[in-house]
A and B are shown apart, each in its own frame.
Chain A
Amino acid sequence: MSEKKVISGAEGVAIAVKLCKPKVLPMYPITPSTLVPEKLSEFVFNGEIDSKMIHVESEHSAISALYGAYATGVRSFTATASQGLALMHEILPIVSGSRFPAVMFVANRALSGPLSIWNDHSDSMSERDQGWIQLHCESNQEAFDTIIMAYRIAESKKVLLPVMVCADGFYLTHAYEPIQIEDQEKVDAFLPDYTPEHYLDTTNPKTFGAFAQPNSYMEFKEEEEKAMREAIREIIKVSKEFDKSFGRKYGNGLVEGINLEEAEYAVLGVGSVCGTIREVIKELNEQGKKIGLIKLKSIRPLPVEDLKILCKDLKILGVIDKHASIGFGGALTNDIRSALMGEKVKVEGFVAGLGGRDINKEKIKELINTIMKNKEGYWLK
């Protein structure tokens, strides 16, 4: 039976993964994603899940083994964070370029150096150009639900791109919240078996990972771009079906507007910080201030048309960026500004929360005061 359990975000992710029945689990430990492979190891070693675990010797090998498993045609999973994701970097575009619908969990953590084990988005934001769909989560329930949706989205024949499910390290992975654990039967009905068209098969030999010349490389990449655009429609569709099956949704699956109806100003956030922003705008709305929130769930594909619609009546949008593209401000701000080019809304960027620096209510109020005074964004420390 479906039940509500108070568990850590990481355990929630592991249970969601188990419900999706992956066949191969290449795993490597790193803070703060380690709790996920730990929990999955318990499932495997206690015979609760029919998956082969590979205890790889690095994250580079984790993603490589994941690639090998998908080349052989089975649904699989891995999890990582920070330096681990950076070590995987080389293989990320090979997985997406091979059109393998892999799902990976990223417990967002700052990149060294200096060394930091705490949360920001520098790890996943640095990988946003590698052909992976990137979905972020505000709560542990959302992380649980997004894992299940991710396989549906990735495996859609119209998409066939890998998905990175991101949740803030510690803030979510180590936080205990009630999570609605869904029934296996319901998940099975929502997520059919993975049946790939192409895989390594000795009865029908095919070559995977061939060498592309200048006359074909661009066409492969163009196909990925088309699939990523197709993913916008597919994410909305899967989100609606998930809502129908389980009664939960997160905006349209890509982005969510909160209290924007009369808003002149809004804050755009990604991940767990949205929870704090919700509290602040609630207070300010009660004081009569017209402030809204845009919670961006999908970094890639970036829902440009949705953003334009959500921002059409806004004067100024303040973007919270938990990653700096050193030398050109917040990378997310740059993306949002580019998406909204030609719209009347002005975009101000605030780099905040790097290396686990707390983004509390006071800081969000400070940001809102700044944009309401029509002042420029800055490093909100």
Chain B
Amino acid sequence: MAILGIDEKEYFASGHRACAGCGEALAIRHILKAAGPKTIIAQATGCMEVVSTPYPESSWEVPWVHCAFENTAAVASGVRAALDAKGDKETNIIAIGGDGASFDIGFGSLSGALERGTRMLYIATDNEAYMNTGIQRSGATFPYANTTTSPAGKVIPGKTQPKKPLPFIAAAHGIKYVATASVMNLMDLHMKVKKALSINGPTMIVVLVPCVPGWKIDSSSTIDVAIKAFETSISPLYEIEEGVLTINQKPSEKKKVEEYLMMQGRFKHLLPEHIKKIQEYVDARWKYLEENNGKKVFDNLF
């Protein structure tokens, strides 16, 4: 039985140790429903590995492999080459890494796998910090967020750098499909996973996954916060397909970033000047997306 085209069967079994309200566990559950049983998962070190595979238990109903933190795309490359050697053209390979694994430590191996044209879907589950190790700042951390290594100090008010534009960096490799997604729209995530897996080459989806302890939000508000991230254009939904940028969905009424920021403990230290700066940053990013909507932003010249 499938409801709205979504497989009723679970491939990520319940009983795992993720926090109540975990955005990442929800995303993975739906990524697997979209991908189906003919899928191999290679996953980086992080919360998901810890909560879903405490030996001798496993939540994974599909073959799953973990090796280390920075090498998921390389491990996936080895898996793909071995499947190619076996003549298996059917099996999907999804490499999954958190923002630490994808934006930072595994950036080199990710870039290498994209450049080589490795047929895999790389999914970066982005919760904007190293949550597994206790909420440390990453290259994906949103400006001014309070993390344990970018604390809201008396002199420095949290992270003072912008977010690394990973989807654009991935698209600049000339790969055929890059998308952003969010747990606030699971149907959108579902369709993007299916589309990505139908493409013969490397594809990438960056999914926003709110983290209850990391963002200091209530476990019942994961989706509300993700919706607000969309409504404020902090987490826009777009695709870059064959280099062409498409905004998938625009907020009916653009909300002020303050509404999003004030929902979360990690931003409670912000002063009006910081909020103003964030609004300018978000507006500029949105303006770029709108101006380039429907345009070819990257060329694959080969």
- Point out residues on A near B: beta carbons under 8 Å: 23-24, 26, 50-52, 54-58, 60-62, 64-74, 76, 90-91, 94, 200-202, 205-213, 216
Choose from A26, A57, A200, A211 the contact partner of B40 (Cβ within 8 Å): A200
Flag if A24 contacts B64 (CB, 8 Å).
no
Flag if B62 contacts A202 (CB, 8 Å).
yes
Flag if A58 contacts B109 (CB, 8 Å).
yes
- Point out residues on B near A: beta carbons under 8 Å: 37-40, 42, 49-50, 53-56, 58, 60-68, 70-71, 73-86, 91, 108-109, 111-112, 115-116
Flag if A205 contacts B78 (CB, 8 Å).
no
Flag if A69 contacts B82 (CB, 8 Å).
yes
Choose from A26, A90, A202, A206 the contact partner of B78 (Cβ within 8 Å): A26
Q: Which residue, B55, B61, B80, has most C-beta atoms of chain A within 10 A?
A: B55
Are A210 and B71 also in contact (CB < 8 A) when A200-B40, A202-B63, A205-B64 are? no
Choose from B37, B50, B61, B112 the contact partner of A58 (Cβ within 8 Å): B112
Given pairs A60-B71, A209-B65, 9 additional interface contacts (CB within 8 A): A56-B74, A56-B112, A58-B108, A60-B74, A68-B76, A68-B80, A94-B67, A207-B53, A208-B66
Flag if B108 contacts A211 (CB, 8 Å).
no
Distance between Cα atoms of A212 and B67 in the complex (Å): 13
**Residues on B with beta carbons closer than 8 Å to the beta carbon of A209:** 49, 53, 65-67
Choose from B66, B77, B86 the contact partner of A26 (Cβ within 8 Å): B77
Are A210 and B56 also in contact (CB < 8 A) when A54-B81, A201-B63, A202-B62 are? yes
Flag if B68 contacts A52 (CB, 8 Å).
no
Flag if A24 contacts B65 (CB, 8 Å).
no
Flag if A207 contacts B58 (CB, 8 Å).
yes
Residue of B nearest to A95 (CB): B67
Distance between Cα atoms of A52 and B49 in the complex (Å): 29
Distance between Cα atoms of A361 and B257 in the complex (Å): 77
Choose from A51, A65, A210 the contact partner of B85 (Cβ within 8 Å): A51
Flag if A211 contacts B49 (CB, 8 Å).
yes
Flag if A202 contacts B39 (CB, 8 Å).
yes
Flag if B63 contacts A74 (CB, 8 Å).
no
**Residues on A with beta carbons closer than 8 Å to the beta carbon of B37:** 202, 205
**Residues on A with beta carbons closer than 8 Å to the beta carbon of B68:** 64, 90-91, 94
Are A210 and B42 also in contact (CB < 8 A) when A64-B78, A72-B79, A94-B67 are? no
Distance between Cα atoms of A54 and B71 in the complex (Å): 14
Flag if B62 contacts A68 (CB, 8 Å).
no
Flag if A24 contacts B66 (CB, 8 Å).
no
Flag if A210 contacts B77 (CB, 8 Å).
no
Distance between Cα atoms of A62 and B68 in the complex (Å): 13
Are A72 and B50 also in contact (CB < 8 A) when A56-B112, A91-B71, A94-B68 are? no
A-B CB contact pairs (8 Å), 30 listed:
A24-B82, A26-B74, A26-B81, A50-B85, A54-B81, A57-B112, A57-B115, A58-B112, A60-B109, A64-B78, A64-B109, A65-B77, A68-B80, A68-B82, A69-B82, A72-B40, A72-B86, A90-B68, A91-B71, A200-B40, A202-B37, A206-B64, A207-B53, A207-B63, A208-B65, A208-B66, A209-B49, A209-B67, A211-B55, A216-B56
**Residues on A with beta carbons closer than 8 Å to the beta carbon of B66:** 208-211
Flag if A52 contacts B63 (CB, 8 Å).
no
CB distance from A208 to the nearest CB of B (A): 4
Residue of B nearest to A62 (CB): B74
Choose from A64, A73, A202, A213 the contact partner of B67 (Cβ within 8 Å): A64
**Residues on A with beta carbons closer than 8 Å to the beta carbon of B74:** 26, 56, 60-62, 64-65, 68
Flag if B64 contacts A56 (CB, 8 Å).
no
Nearest 4 Cβ contacts at the A-B interface: A68-B78, A57-B112, A72-B82, A65-B78
Distance between Cα atoms of A24 and B75 in the complex (Å): 12
Flag if A208 contacts B64 (CB, 8 Å).
yes
**Residues on A with beta carbons closer than 8 Å to the beta carbon of B70:** 60
Flag if B62 contacts A67 (CB, 8 Å).
no
Residue of A nearest to B116 (CB): A55
**Residues on B with beta carbons closer than 8 Å to the beta carbon of A94:** 67-68
Distance between Cα atoms of A202 and B86 in the complex (Å): 14
**Residues on A with beta carbons closer than 8 Å to the beta carbon of B39:** 202
Distance between Cα atoms of A114 and B116 in the complex (Å): 34
**Residues on B with beta carbons closer than 8 Å to the beta carbon of A90:** 68
CB distance from B107 to the nearest CB of A (A): 11
Q: Which residue, B61, B78, B82, has most C-beta atoms of chain A within 10 A?
A: B78
Distance between Cα atoms of A66 and B56 in the complex (Å): 25
Distance between Cα atoms of A51 and B81 in the complex (Å): 9
**Residues on A with beta carbons closer than 8 Å to the beta carbon of B115:** 57
Residue of B nearest to A220 (CB): B55
Choose from A55, A67, A73, A76 the contact partner of B75 (Cβ within 8 Å): A67
Flag if B54 contacts A61 (CB, 8 Å).
no
**Residues on A with beta carbons closer than 8 Å to the beta carbon of B111:** 57
Flag if A56 contacts B77 (CB, 8 Å).
yes
**Residues on A with beta carbons closer than 8 Å to the beta carbon of B65:** 68, 71, 200, 207-209
Flag if B61 contacts A205 (CB, 8 Å).
yes
**Residues on B with beta carbons closer than 8 Å to the beta carbon of A205:** 37, 60-64
CB distance from B35 to the nearest CB of A (A): 11
Are A207 and B78 also in contact (CB < 8 A) when A64-B109, A74-B86, A213-B55 are? no
